[in-house]
Amino acid sequence: MNQLDQLKQHTIVVADTGNFKQLAQFAPRDATTNPSLILKAVQQPDYAPLLAETVAAHKGQPLEEIVDHVLVRFGREILKVVPGRVSTEVDARLSFDTAATVARARRITAMYEDAGIGRERVLIKIASTWEGIQAARILEHERIHCNLTLLFSFCQAVACGEAGVRLISPFVGRIYDWHRKSAGSSWDEAANAGANDPGVKSVAQIYTYYKKFGVDTEVMGASFRNVGQIVALAGCDLLTISPELLAQLQGSEAPVQRALDPAAAAKAAVHAATFNEASFRWALNEDAMATEKLAEGIRAFAADAVKLDRMIEGM
């Protein structure tokens, strides 16, 4: 079997793309999108008519509603290809506004339901700020399930578990990027590969904690830079992988061994943790990598949201 088929024996494989025409060849169960991926997709000739058609159908509505219709339209197309769920992201500019995030999530969910798609097939993506996590707590009580993204630290993961979030997306590659840049010329790639990769270690810690203490939140490793990071997390609940890396996995028959295992996690010597708002903000502040990457990620997604706004306004 190729590596992708081997990986699927241990982990649910998710495609990380807005390019739904690429999906079928990899047979993922779920798919995830974000503003950057949607922006990239709509700039391709294959998807320009879909964008134009959706914008024209909702002409005269407020811009933010038209944007949500575009996101949902891509989500609907993706759900024609994958049997599971699609993640659709709330505007990153609302990352510090709990009430606005809740309202936007409800509207996106209603748009899917109006198109005949049940909420069990949709995950609302929200940045893992304190405000975002509290929005997810409210939404989960309404059976609007959430994917908390831009997650870089243990405190974010614990708070998400306590809020009853359905799924989290810890960002392996961006953690790796930060540590590599921080180390500069002293970085040793071989010594920091596989299970020693700082991003892999972060996800393994969260996975172990959740399984040890029976936290139901699903862990979905995200933002991979290489196949080695993916293979080192075989056994994680889910892994969301770009089409480029899915193709690499499909093209290799190197062995894939299970790396994360719930039975081993149950025996791990770890202590329970809890965070209120003050302790959460302090723990995040003490983690320079998580603080910087969370802020940087929100800024990048917000910038792409602005570009998508301008593109739609110009139509």
Query: Helices (H), strands (E): how many in the chain?
Result: 14, 8
211 given a catalytic annotation: no
Both tokens of residue 92?
């990153």
Task: Look at residues 21, 22, 28, 32 and name the one whose alpha carbon lies nearest to residue 5.
Answer: 28
Both tokens of residue 43?
């700039």
For residue 282, give the H/E element and its range.
helix 277-286
Among the options 8, 40, 59, 125, which is catalytic?
A: 125
Query: In whole angstroms, what is the distance from residue 31 CA to residue 84 CA?
Result: 8
Q: Under DSSP, is residue 238 helix (H, G, I), strand (E, B) or coil?
A: strand
* Residue 41 burial class via C-beta count within 10 angstroms: exposed 0-12, middle 13-18, buried 19 and up: buried
Task: Look at residues 71, 88, 91, 175 and name the one whose alpha carbon lies nearest to residue 132.
Answer: 91
For residue 170, give the H/E element and its range.
strand 167-170
Q: Which residues are catalytic?
A: 125
